[in-house]
Amino acid sequence: MDPGRPSLDEGTKALTPTIVPIDLQYLGLSGAIASWLCRDGEHAVIIEAGPGRSIGELESGLSEHGLAVEDLDACLVTHIHLDHAGAAGHLAERGVPIHVHEFGAKHLIDPSKLLASATRIYGAAMDTLWGETVPAPEHMVHSVVDDQRLQFGPLRFRAVETPGHARHHHVFELEVEDGSTVCFAGDAAAMLIPGSDYISIPTPPPEFNLPVWLETIEILRTGNWTRFHLTHGGTVDADGDHLDRLATKLQQQVEWIREWEMEGLEGLDLHSRYREALLVEAKAAGVSEQKFDSFASEHLLGMNISGIRRWLGQQKPDSPS
């Protein structure tokens, strides 16, 4: 597999790119999942393919900017979870090179293990949630490693290793002007419920890892970027309190699950306690219960509990690490 095949032009001066979100209207929800379009007029790159079910919305969003899928120079995928990379095979079949973490590349070429893992979490809801995921042609998938530079005309990106949510996770830095940058954060900076500052944190099995994610948050603090463009929920200023609140909430939620397990809560009781605790915080941030349930779905909450419990189980001396 090619280690990476961006269009390189070392003599091209970086310009100020246009950066716009393409709202994929996931399950009819505005702001739930975005692909970020970066262009300079001649060159266009998207960050995130989105799920397979949203390929039509991606096409429509691109057309509003005078582009077709076939006009894209590349798609950079922060990680291979289906809400970020499920449509990668569809794009690759239409000639769009896919750039993805070296650990995830093989799973886009042969998504059978990825789909089996997701099916264990989502069960019969797989098709409704994600649509069709197809294999990407091997020659269209390019492995990316930490600190790798990717250039497409004047668009200059850098991949930054950011595990914790998943070991196959990069954020992508983009130079915008005068040496400053923005950061396309994937899930490393978690999610916002749109229209609020309420942070929703996805903690999926099998790779959620609390201390590793906290290390990633420290990496995010040190970047030269001015903004974090989130896949879920919009944009936040890098010099705000988003990362501080994320670190606090992340540790808090792990402690909640730890304490409730010690109390003997299981199944629906554990799920109900977790939802109630999150809903209190969401309402305090001005999020209605209806909106909370739309964005923090039963599937998401169940996934979070499973991910945290799995990680906690690995910390016990009598459990395999």
In a 10 Å sphere around its CB, with 0-12 CB exposed, 13-18 middle and 19+ buried, how is residue 198 labelled? Answer: buried
Q: What is the chain's mean pLDDT, rounded?
A: 93
3-state secondary structure string across the chain: CCCCCCCCCCCCCCCCCEEEEEECCHHHCCCCCEEEEEECCCCEEEECCCCHHHHHHHHHHHHCCCCCHHHCCEEECCCCCHHHHCCHHHHHHCCCCEEEECCCHHHHHCCHHHHHHHHHHHHHHHHHHHCCCCCCCHHHEEEECCCCEEEECCEEEEEEECCCCCCCCEEEEEEEECCEEEEEEECCCCEECCCCCCEECCCCCCCCCHHHHHHHHHHHHCCCEEEEEECCCEEEECCCCHHHHHHHHHHHHHHHHHHHHHCCCCHHHHHHHHHHHHHHHHHHCCCCHHHHHHHCCHHHHHHHHHHHHHHHHHHCCCCCC
As to burial, measured by CB atoms within 10 angstroms (0-12 exposed, 13-18 middle, 19+ buried), residue 71 is middle
Lowest mean pLDDT among 14-23, 90-99, 225-234: 14-23
Biggest alpha carbon–alpha carbon distance for the chain:
63
Q: Which residue has the higher pLDDT, 4 or 22?
A: 22
Cα angle 249-251-252, degrees, rounded to a multiple of 5: 60
The residue ranges of every structural domain in the chain are 18-238, 246-315
Digit-coded pLDDT (tens) for 131-158: 999 999 999 999 999 999 999 999 999 9
Cα 213-217-223 angle, rounded to 5 deg: 140
**Residue 15 — very low, low, confident or very high, per pLDDT cuts 50/70/90?**
low
Assigned CATH topology for domain 18-238: Metallo-beta-lactamase; Chain A (3.60.15)
Q: What is the pTM of this model?
A: 0.92
What mean pLDDT is predicted for residues 266-295? Answer: 97
Place of tokens 């919009």: 234
Q: What is the pLDDT of residues 216-266, one digit of tens each?
A: 999 999 999 999 999 999 999 999 999 999 999 999 999 999 999 999 999
Crossing angle of helices 242-262 and 298-315, in 10° steps, is 70
Burial class (CB in 10 A: 0-12, 13-18, 19+), 143: middle
What is the reported pLDDT for 8? 35
**Which tokens go with 271?**
């799920």
pLDDT value of residue 1: 36
| pLDDT of amino acid 172 | 98
